[in-house]
Amino acid sequence: MFKVLPRFLMNRAEKVPKRPLGPFKTDLATYEALPRSGLRVTWMGHSSMLIEIDGASLLIDPVWDERASPMRWAGPKRFFPPTMQLRDLPRIDAVLISHDHYDHLGEATIRELAQLKSMRSTQWVTSLGVGGMLSGFGVDAAQITELDWTQSLVVAKGKLTITALPARHFSGRSLFNRFHSLWSSFVLKSANHTVYYGADSGWWNGFAQIGSEFGPFDLTMLEIGAFDRLWASIHLGPDGAARAFEALGGRGLLMPIHWGLFDLALHAWREPIERMLELAQKRGIALWIPEPGRPTDVEAGVEVRSDWWNRTIPPRGVSFSEVQRRK
């Protein structure tokens, strides 16, 4: 606290967007057809996303909550509203929860999902020790499977294998339950695609082994936000993500996650992606950055760079072109 407090008080960075972002809306009609490439991702912001992969559908770390906080009236607030309602989600074969932190496990979201008739046969997959929390939020215990590191589970009638792997992070939703449950990264393996979801992690030497044993990956999802030199051991940041991507094999596309939705650190809210773009240019990394809420096909070797963070809702009477000119 003594190290952080002076920097917090003196901080002049734009930690929250000054103007509304978006609007971002998911075109629900897209889900009526299977992805052309076999792999399609709808990124909802931060680490929440829907993955359609060779006939299986997986909802990852869903947080539709207004705040990533134990309180509904205080704490980090969303930069933009959800791009779709939970009740409008397409068929979901499995929900994957990486760990119990508020920005990855939203209580209100879980409670609503648990009440949906469409989720009655959905499998819930999570790290060791998190299942009891999901059950407490209304998920049927019979639908929950906890995984220890290196354990796997086949879902979606055999179409997708989820393997839990180590990460360098921590768990706990208060000061009194630290390390009471596990946190994990995951490999998602289908008939034609392999995806790595890094969830939350600092740098560790195991990235190379994961890439060697489970790669190459079509899409590698690594966190770039909520970073700082004081907690580099538990969050990668853009530089750590570039290093980890290369250690994992450096092939396929890198999708930056864990940014652009909540104010969870001291840096400016755009800083993670701006730094990631610089690193990609210098190191020849192919980036995959979709617009929030837009179902987007993943195609081998095809980069996606949406530049959505530079598009804000202009003040009344001011055109978008005028906003860009002022920038």
Q: What is the 3-state secondary structure (H, E, C) of the chain?
A: CCCHHHHHHHCCCCCCCCCCECCCCCCHHHHHCCCCCCEEEEEEECCEEEEEECCEEEEECCCCCCECCCCCCCCCECCCCCCCCHHHCCCCCEEEECCCCCCCCCHHHHHHHHHCHHHCCCEEEEECCCHHHHHHCCCCHHHEEEECCCCEEEECCCCEEEEEECCCCCCCCCCCCCCCCCCCEEEEECCCCEEEECCCCCCCCHHHHHHHHHCCCCEEEEECCCCCHHHCCCCCHHHHHHHHHHHCCCCCEEEEECCCCCCCCCCCCCHHHHHHHHHHHHHCCCEEECCCCCCEECCCCCCEECCHHHCECCCCCCCHHHHHHHC
Indicate which CATH number applies to the domain containing 172: 3.60.15.10
Quote the number of domains for the chain.
1
Give the model's pLDDT for residue 324: 42
164 occurs within a structural domain: yes
Q: How far apart are the first and last CA of the chain?
A: 36
Torsion of CA 125, 31, 48, 220, to 10 degrees: 80
275 occurs within a structural domain: yes
5 occurs within a structural domain: no
pTM of the predicted model as reported, rounded to 2 decimal places: 0.93
Cβ 22 vs Cβ 80: under 8 Å:
yes
191 occurs within a structural domain: yes
Strands 94-97 and 288-289, sheet pairing:
unpaired
3 occurs within a structural domain: no
Give the model's pLDDT for residue 313: 59
* Closest C-alpha among 191, 224, 202 to residue 309: 224
| CA distance linking residue 148 with residue 184, whole number of Å | 8
Give the model's pLDDT for residue 40: 98
282 occurs within a structural domain: yes
Give the model's pLDDT for residue 3: 82
Between the alpha carbon of residue 160 and those of residues 51, 124, 194, the distances in Å are: 11, 13, 10
Give the model's pLDDT for residue 273: 98
Low-confidence ranges of the chain (pLDDT < 50): 316-327
Give the model's pLDDT for residue 72: 83
- Using one digit for the tens of pLDDT, what is the confidence trace for 257-296? 999 999 999 999 999 999 999 999 999 999 999 999 999 9
| CA distance linking residue 215 with residue 251, whole number of Å | 9
Give the model's pLDDT for residue 322: 45
Give the model's pLDDT for residue 217: 98
213 occurs within a structural domain: yes
92 occurs within a structural domain: yes
Structural domain boundaries, residue 154: 27-326
